[in-house]
């Protein structure tokens, strides 16, 4: 951090001491380690009653946070936390509308920093422990809703893990967390809405690098007009991919059915049909971080389950196997769905959407990608950091899109940004010396079993009803030698 940043953090710490005076005699707050829309997290040393010092993470919730939401997060931590890789809570301090949650501090690595140095065995261990944490919270009827690397802390040397941040958690219909029952979405005219639902915007975590922007001009979403006056409105179209999500006109009907006759006829036209005009605005839980949202979240499916956490775990596994993070990064939900289609295929997306009461239209049929070919193709191309950060990000984004759009995967991309002659991009075989090859073999990436890609395929099942659960995933053949 720069001196300006340090002085700014020092002032924040002073304000926190002033807001919650009880902290003064117990904790020495040393630094700020994370910041989100609804909270800031600090690293502190606390003096225990035994006289010993211990490390803690202090999460200061913004004063405008909903009281019930704060209490629900605390209840998740106290009831389900403290075991099976789920962070627990030690203390909680409150002064007026300021709340500070005190948790054990786990020193951890930055996911982006260690991604390319992890062995395949470490990757297996990482996923096994993440799934164990998800199985634990799901057994309590908790849907985390924001599973991502920065919320799953990993201490590589100690082999310790911790799932954190239940600020966006919701409960299943049979949740054991009483306050999540209060926060469950209320049915309104057959639809689902929630006055306490919060989306994540502008999140910043000091343990995570900024997302790599994928300049993907070939993906464009066509959204239905929200106004009756359509004389000056044009629906955007592209030659490649165009998606449109429409909700069922019979909201009270079970989500497992979808009537094809409800598909509107104004797609890609200079008009809005009566079906679209008569459709009640769909309201559904949408919290989470872009790039990790499941298809049913992107299409505003009212009934969302623990399966959305499993999709997010699948995206993390996809990053681990491909060596690319963030893997998806779209400006809006429909572009995000279009990016997912480039991997899972348009036919699969359309079929799955029908199962949860949605209709998705695509202007071009996209085949599903072979996950092994995709991941090995991305991992085989090494982007060397011999330019500025902007150029490196641009190169990586262009490389990823080229491989995602090409079924073969084993090639050097030909584009204005990356060429076979570019010193920034080489195939792993081009730079493998005997030492490098020995390291590669040691890391195990030359012998990734089929079971890994089978599990990835099950985690990224477009249909939440058939997507693998955490309990099922833990007994997957990939983990046969793990406890």
Percentage of the chain with pLDDT > 70?
66
How far apart (Å, rounded) are the C-alpha atoms in residues 171 and 185?
9
Tell me the average pLDDT across 91-113.
95
Is the per-residue pLDDT at 54 higher than 90? Answer: yes
CA quadruple 461, 467, 471, 476: dihedral, nearest 10: -40
Looking at per-residue confidence, does 73 or 206 come out higher?
73
Q: Name the more confident of 355 and 321.
A: 321
In this structure, are residues 402 and 415 in contact, taking their beta carbons and an 8 Å threshold?
yes
Give the residue ranges of the annotated binding site for ATP.
59
Position 90 scores a pLDDT of 94
Decide if pLDDT at 202 tops 60. Answer: no
Residue ranges, comma separated, of all CATH 1.10.510.10 domains in the chain are: 107-202+212-483
pLDDT recorded at residue 274: 77
100-125 mean pLDDT = 96
Q: How far is CA 455 from the centre of its chain?
A: 18
Pick the CATH number of 3-104 from 3.40.50.720, 3.30.420.40, 2.70.170.10, 3.30.200.20: 3.30.200.20
Residue 260, pLDDT above cutoff 50: no
Q: Which residues, in sequence order, are CB contacts of 432 under 8 Å at separation 6+?
A: 440
Binding positions: 59
Looking from the CA of 452 toward its CB, the CA atoms found within 13 Å total 26
Return the HEC string of the chain.
CCHHHHHHHHHHHHHHHHHCHHHCCCEEEEEEEEECCCEEEEEEEEECCCCCEEEEEEEEECCCCCHHHHHHHHHHHHHHCCCCCECCCCEEEEECCEEEEEEECCCCCCHHHHCCCCCHHHHHHHHHHHHHHHHHHHHCCEECCCCCHHHEEEECCCCEEEECCCCCCEECCCCCCHHHHHCCCEEECCEEECCCCCCCCCCECCCCCCCCCCCCCCEEECCCCCCCCCCCCCCCCCCCEEEEEEECCCCCCCCCCCCHHHCCCCCCCCCCCHHHHHCCCCCCCCCCCCCCCCHHHHCCCCCCCCHHHHHHHHHHHHHHHHCCCCCCCCCCHHHHHHHHHHHHCHHHHHHHHHHCCEEEEECCCCCCCCHHHHHHHHHHEEECCCCCHHHHHHHHHHHHHHHHHCCCCCCCCCCCCCCCCCCCEEEHHHCCCHHHHHHHHHHCHHHCCHHHHHHHHHHCCCCCCCCCCHHHHHCCHHHCCCC
Q: How far apart are CA 6 and CA 109, in angstroms?
A: 21
Choose, from 97, 146, 265, 457, the residue flagged as catalytic: 146
Question: Quick one: pLDDT at residue 248?
Answer: 42
Active site (annotated) includes residue 146: yes
Mean pLDDT of 197-216: 39
CA distance 79 to 90: 12
User: Where does CATH 3.30.200.20 sit in the chain?
Assistant: 3-104
Q: Give the per-residue pLDDT at 401.
A: 61
Model confidence at 327, pLDDT cuts 50, 70, 90, reads: very high
Whole-prediction pTM = 0.75
Confidence tier at 330 by pLDDT (50, 70, 90): confident
Ranges 69-73, 377-381, 462-466: which has the least confidence: 377-381
Is the model's pLDDT at 393 over the cut of 50?
A: yes
Give the model's pLDDT for residue 194.
40
Report pLDDT for 71.
94
Q: What is the pLDDT of residues 395-435, one digit of tens each?
A: 666 666 665 555 443 333 333 343 434 444 444 433 333 45
Whether residue 443 is predicted with pLDDT greater than 90 in this model: the reply is no
pLDDT of 36 reads 80
The CATH fold assigned to 107-202+212-483 is Transferase(Phosphotransferase); domain 1 (1.10.510)
Q: Which two tokens stand for residue 421?
A: 């002659």
């Amino acid at each position: 951090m720069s001196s300006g940043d340090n002085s700014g953090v020092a002032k924040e710490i002073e304000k926190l001491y002033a807001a919650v005076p009880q902290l003064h005699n117990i904790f020495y707050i040393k630094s700020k380690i994370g910041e989100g829309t609804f909270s800031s997290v600090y690293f502190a040393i606390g003096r225990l009653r035994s006289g010993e010092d211990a490390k803690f993470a202090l999460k200061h919730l913004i004063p405008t946070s909903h009281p019930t939401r704060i209490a629900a997060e605390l209840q998740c931590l106290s009831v389900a936390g403290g075991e099976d890789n789920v962070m627990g809570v030690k203390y909680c301090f409150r002064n007026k509308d300021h709340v500070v949650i005190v948790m054990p501090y786990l020193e951890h690595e930055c996911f982006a920093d260690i991604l390319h140095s992890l062995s395949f065995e470490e990757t297996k261990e990482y996923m096994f422990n993440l799934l164990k944490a998800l199985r634990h919270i799901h057994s309590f009827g908790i849907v985390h809703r924001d599973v991502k690397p920065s919320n799953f802390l990993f201490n590589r040397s100690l082999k310790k893990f911790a799932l954190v941040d239940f600020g966006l958690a919701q409960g299943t219909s049979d949740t054991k967390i009483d306050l999540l029952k209060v926060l469950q979405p209320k049915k309104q005219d057959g639809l689902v809405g929630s006055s306490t639902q919060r989306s994540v915007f502008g999140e910043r975590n000091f343990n995570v690098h900024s997302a790599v922007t994928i300049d993907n001009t070939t993906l464009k979403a066509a959204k239905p007009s929200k106004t009756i006056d359509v004389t000056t409105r044009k629906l955007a179209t592209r030659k490649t991919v165009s998606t449109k999500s429409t909700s069922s006109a019979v909201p009270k009907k079970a989500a497992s059915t979808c009537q094809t006759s409800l598909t509107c006829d104004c797609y890609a036209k200079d008009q809005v049909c009566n079906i679209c005009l008569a459709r009640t605005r769909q309201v559904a839980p949408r919290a989470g971080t872009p790039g990790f949202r499941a298809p049913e979240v992107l299409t505003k499916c009212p009934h969302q389950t623990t399966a959305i956490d499993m999709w997010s775990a699948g995206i993390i596994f996809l990053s681990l196997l491909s060596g690319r993070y963030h893997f998806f990064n779209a400006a809006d939900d429909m572009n995000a769905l279009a990016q997912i289609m480039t991997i899972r295929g348009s036919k699969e997306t359309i079929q799955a959407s029908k199962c949860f009461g949605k209709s998705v239209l695509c202007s071009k049929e996209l085949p599903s990608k072979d996950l092994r070919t995709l991941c090995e193709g991305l991992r085989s191309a090494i982007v060397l950091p011999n330019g500025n950060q902007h150029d490196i990000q641009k190169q990586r984004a262009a490389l990823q899109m080229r491989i995602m759009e090409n079924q073969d995967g084993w090639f050097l991309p030909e584009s204005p940004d990356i060429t076979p002659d570019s010193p920034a991009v080489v195939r792993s075989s081009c730079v493998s010396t005997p030492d490098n090859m020995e390291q590669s073999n040691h890391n195990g990436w030359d012998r990734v079993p089929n079971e890994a890609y089978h599990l990835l395929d099950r985690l990224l099942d477009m249909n939440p009803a058939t997507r693998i659960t955490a309990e099922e995933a833990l007994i997957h053949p990939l983990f046969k030698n793990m406890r």
